[in-house]
Every structure is written in C-alpha cells, then in structure tokens.
C-alpha cells in the first residue's frame, strides 16, 4: 500500500516560518492535500492540489512539491495555527486514499 | 448553512453492531460522493469508505471490508454506515466527509462533520 511519512512534531516561535513535510513515492506523481485539525475539532482543508489555497484560508499558508516531497509552509506562524496537520493523497486507479501520520505544530 | 451532522455513535460490545448516520444540508446531496473517515483516540486519520453520488458504487479500506456497509438515502440527504462484527480497534471518532473531484482527477474531502464516537469494549 501507499505510505505518506510526516515528522511527528514541529515547533516554532510566533512569527517564524513553519515547514511541515510529507514524503511519499516520487513516481507516479500524486498530488498532496493538507488538512489542519485543531484540538477537539474536525479537520479543515488548507491546501489542495499541492499548492492551491481554498477560499477563507489565510495567505500565510502555502504548499509546494518537489519529487517525492510535499511541504506545507506557514509564513509568520501564529498561536492559533497550533494544530495537527495531515497530508493526504490518493491513487484513484487503486481506490487508495491515504493520510500521513500527522505532524503536531506547536507555536510558542 | 452547508453542514454535515453525524449521529448514532455509542458504546458497543465486541462482535456487536452499530449504524451511524450523517445528515447533510446546504448543498445538493446527490451531486456528491460521500465518505466516512475515522480517527482512533490519539491517532491519525484513516479513510474508511466511500459511496458515489447515486449510491451505485462503494469502496472500502481493507481494514473494514466485509464488516462495514456504506449507503445513502438521497431523498433524505442522509449517509449511513452499518458496522458489524465490531472489534476493539474500531474504536474511533467517525467523521462524515463530502468528496470533491479535483482538476487533477483526485478525490479529496472538502467538508467534514464534527464526528461521532464509537467505543467498542466489554
């Protein structure tokens, strides 16, 4: 089965840039989606198709992808960005829908 | 308001059954495939099952295949999952999620409910 690997935790001070990575297979190309889950809440989509930001998501959230690695970048992280972040990808030919293990972002 | 509201969770003994529901509102339900995604306590997200907009196609994760059945009633804007032969490792918050097809041909979840907790224990 397809696996996505994330670091368990990332910590930054307020105003710093947080980078959360997600690694998978480089081939075939799979687009990555990012979900933010605050404590006790449902996940919220923050990035889709590697780099696109849904309406209502602050501009400080951005996504990038190169080879087997996708990165969620939070420029000028704020205390309210503290959450678990999950990458997600899919292989529609195999009906395979996979989440990474999640990264806990601490902002303090 | 666009929203998904799950119900039906609770405590069930190993080997037991439970049926979860998800009421959708604020969008044209039949236009969207729908999914269940679960999260065990303190763990990550796991896709469980998906049903197409008309209910004619269903998909399951290997971990639940043969024990869970997803369905929908488009006349009532409601998604269901029938859970049988439940095990301790099925204990999780079960989220209902709306599927969206991206420009790149991927299915992803663009709207989530708040979840309902299923606890499997004797």
**pLDDT score of B73 more than 90:** yes
Tokens standing for A80?
A: 């309210």
pLDDT tens for B47-62 read 999 999 999 999 999 9
Interface check for B109 against chain A (CB to CB < 8 A): the answer is yes
**pLDDT score of B63 more than 90:** yes
DSSP letters of B13-57?
Answer: -TT--EEEEEEEESS-GGGS-EEEEEE-TTS-EEEEEEE-TTS--
Other Cβ atoms less than 10 A from the Cβ of B23: the count is 16
Tokens standing for B78?
A: 């409601």
∠ CA A26-A10-B95, nearest 5°, is 75
Interface check for B44 against chain A (CB to CB < 8 A): the answer is yes
Nearest residue of A to residue B105, measured between CA atoms:
A92
Instruction: State how far the Cα of A64 lies from the Cα of A62, in Å rounded to an integer.
Output: 7
Question: Percentage of residues in chain B with pLDDT exceeding 70?
Answer: 100
CB-nearest partner of B104 from A31, A101, A102? A31
Would you place residue B95 in the very low, low, confident or very high pLDDT band (cuts 50, 70, 90)?
very high
**pLDDT score of A26 more than 80:** no
Task: Considering only residues A61 and B104, tell me which one the structure prediction assigns the higher pLDDT.
Answer: A61
A92 to chain B, closest Cα gap in Å: 7
The radius of gyration of chain B's CA atoms, rounded to the nearest angstrom, is 14
């Amino acid at each position: 089965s397809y696996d996505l690997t994330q670091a368990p935790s990332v910590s930054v001070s307020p105003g710093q840039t947080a980078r959360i990575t997600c690694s998978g297979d480089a081939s075939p190309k799979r687009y990555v989606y990012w979900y933010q889950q605050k404590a006790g809440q449902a996940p919220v989509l923050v990035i889709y198709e590697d780099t696109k930001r849904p309406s209502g998501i602050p501009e400080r959230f951005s996504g990038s992808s190169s080879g087997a690695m996708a990165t969620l970048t939070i420029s000028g992280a704020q205390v309210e960005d503290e959450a678990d972040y999950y990458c997600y990808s899919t292989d529609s030919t195999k009906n395979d829908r996979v989440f990474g293990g999640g990264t806990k972002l601490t902002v303090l | 308001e666009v929203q998904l509201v799950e119900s039906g969770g609770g405590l069930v003994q190993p080997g037991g059954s439970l049926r979860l529901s998800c009421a959708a509102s604020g969008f044209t339900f039949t236009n969207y495939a729908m999914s269940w995604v679960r999260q065990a306590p303190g763990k990550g997200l796991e896709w469980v099952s998906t049903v197409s907009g008309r209910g004619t196609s269903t998909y399951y994760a290997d971990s639940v295949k043969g024990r869970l059945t997803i369905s929908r009633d488009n006349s009532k804007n409601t998604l269901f999952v029938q859970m049988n032969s439940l095990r301790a490792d099925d204990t999780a918050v079960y989220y209902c999620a709306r599927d969206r097809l991206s420009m790149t041909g991927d299915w992803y979840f663009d709207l989530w409910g708040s979840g309902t907790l299923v606890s499997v224990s004797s």
